[in-house]
Structure 1
């Protein structure tokens, strides 16, 4: 459905924010992971037809979205990281306005708005002005506007920011249901947001794509790179500066550490089964070592 070919983008002549990105994506959920500044938002902006790349091509169902952005926009839903609303409008007024921009007919618009308000738990505040909404409620409105046209490609950038744990769980369940017949690209730096729902994982670091495969394959690749080690408080202070410490749990003996390392960090360290977050840290560690 979506092909990214040799995509490179510069903000300045000597500052590449994307470097030779290649991806072939079909339906399902793709989790895009990376630190702040890794290039995720730049890639999202190009895929959402908001920005043209310096080099490369992006095809949607075989057609260039760089030369013909409207070809994708009719089937695109997009929630940017920073989503603004018109404070004086109610949710229904705002979503009706977005429906007009997306050229939905009146009957379809009303039906979609009612369905989304219900599924996102916004029906009871639908006639309140958006100025009265909390950050989490505004985020849910942003999710609703992205889904209005029932898009074949849904791009969401840090979608769970401002949501409480229950809202985050509801949103993940919704995405899992939606992914049955469309492509969803979900960018986040919170690994737990995608651990249970992503069909594949793409990891970016310094504008490059360092990994693209299934979550299970990522965890398999990190086998024998995650270690558990009990240390004293003083030893912990030493290891923090020399090792990638994924987790530290304080106890009566000092700290129980989980360390991501290609080599056994200590003769007393024992290998443990990696989580998706451990595996993500392992990929980033390897990328940093390559750059060094």
Structure 2
């Protein structure tokens, strides 16, 4: 069993505290990292991968400080950054060979691993095509393959399904579920369905602070009695509801408008029904509407 302990982690840029006394412990499995833009998710992932040093606090891998472990720790890390392009003039296979060499993998072992991963991400048939001719989704799949080259024990993925079509996302989620038995996988995404599908637990952060960590059942339990469906045939009332409450969804029928609303107390309108919370409701509850505009 692998463990990653993040203890009293702090990082500031100027006067802005990006990770704020963050404490969390992870074991094998997939963890969804959820938060609005600017919450500190990417900074946290860069600290975990040693790309960014913390101002204070520490990260322990199996009880040892990651900087004391040095290269031994980096040997067990796989990382896909949010913005991944690769080298345009390289073919997919050439790029993976280059990345493999940087990770200390060579010869037949590397060739075998590359073929396996290219099959896994559905790019084997275009392995000799240059990356500059790849679509954004195809480049993303190359990025996923390079992150897996060294069979990492800690896999850190920043927006890994961005640009993937639904079929590719399903394939990727199945892959993560399959390999998560002996790995710690940290998945940052704005695609709520990805977290719902595969994460054993979700870590919710805002302004660099841990708001909550728990299973989907535990997190959704906190939303009981906070999600409502309001039906109205009056446009003025619908606008009033939108001004007063966080509205997750609006459906307009021929004679009626249905609004899915997040509220601490039951809204005082006619035709209000308490409903079962979903994971997208969690996002809207914990983050202001301003936070969700780019999601």
- What is the TM-score of this pair, normalised by structure 2? 0.93
1:17 alignment partner, SS class: strand
Post-superposition offset of 1:283 = 3.0
Alpha-carbon offset, residue 218 of structure 1: 0.6
Q: CA shift at 1:190, angstroms?
A: 1.6
Post-superposition CA distance 1:222-277 (Å, at most 9, x none) = 11110011123222222222211111111123421111111001343111011111
- The Cα offsets for residues 40-61 of structure 1, whole Å up to 9 and x where unpaired, read as 0110110011000111110111
Q: Does 164-173 or 66-75 show the bigger shift?
A: 66-75
Aligned-partner Cα distance in 2 for 1:23–1:274: 25
Q: In structure 1, what is the Cα distance between the partners aligned to 2:128 and 2:250?
A: 47
The 1-side partners of 2:24 and 2:109 are apart by: 33
For 2:287 and 2:49, the matched residues in 1 are separated by 26
Q: Which residue of 2 aligns with 1:243?
A: 245
Counterpart of 2:88 in structure 1 is: 87
Tell whether the 8 Å contact from 2:11 to 2:19 is kept in structure 1 after alignment.
yes
C-alpha separation in 2, matches of 1:47 and 1:108: 27
Q: Which residue of 2 aligns with 1:184?
A: 185
Q: Does 1:219 align with 2:220?
A: yes
Shift of 1:67: 4.5
8 Å CA contact 2:36–2:287 kept in 1: the answer is: no
Are the counterparts in 1 of residues 205 and 212 from structure 2 also a CA contact under 8 Å?
A: yes
Given that 1:229 and 1:259 are in contact with CA atoms closer than 8 Å, whether structure 2 keeps it comes out as yes
Paired with 2:189 and 2:117, the residues of 1 have a C-alpha distance of 23
- 2:197 is matched with 196
Give the Cα–Cα distance (whole angstroms) in 1 for the partners of residues 67 and 40 of structure 2. Answer: 19
Q: Residue 270 of structure 1 aligns with which residue? A: 273
- Determine the C-alpha separation between the residues in 1 that align with 2:28 and 2:147: 17
Contact (CA 8 Å) 1:52, 1:66: kept in 2 or not? no
Q: Give the corresponding residue for 2:31.
A: 30
Matches within 5 A, 1:69-148: 69-148=70-149
In the other structure, the counterpart of 2:63 is 62
Deviation at 1:68, TM superposition (A): 4.1
| 8 Å Cα contact 1:49-1:69 kept in structure 2 | no
Report the secondary structure of 1:194's partner residue: helix
| Contact map agreement 2:8 2:56 (CA 8 A) in 1 | yes
C-alpha contact 1:36 1:189 (8 A) present in aligned 2: no
Q: CA deviation at 1:280?
A: 3.0
Tell me, in whole angstroms, the C-alpha distance in 1 between the residues paired with 2:43 and 2:252: 39
Which of 261, 274, 282 aligns to 1:279? It is 282
Runs of 4 or more off by more than 4 Å in structure 1? none
For the 8 Å contact 1:226–1:273, the answer to whether it is kept is yes
> Which residue does the alignment assign to 2:259?
257
> What is the aligned residue count?
285
C-alpha distance in structure 2 between counterparts of 1:53 and 1:66, whole Å:
11
Q: Distance in 1 between matches of 2:151 and 2:34?
A: 25
Report if aligned partners of 1:233, 1:254 keep a CA contact under 8 Å in 2. Answer: no
SS in 1 for 2:265: coil
Sort the Cα spacing of 1:233 and 1:66 in 2 relative to 1 into closer, same or farther, 3 A: farther
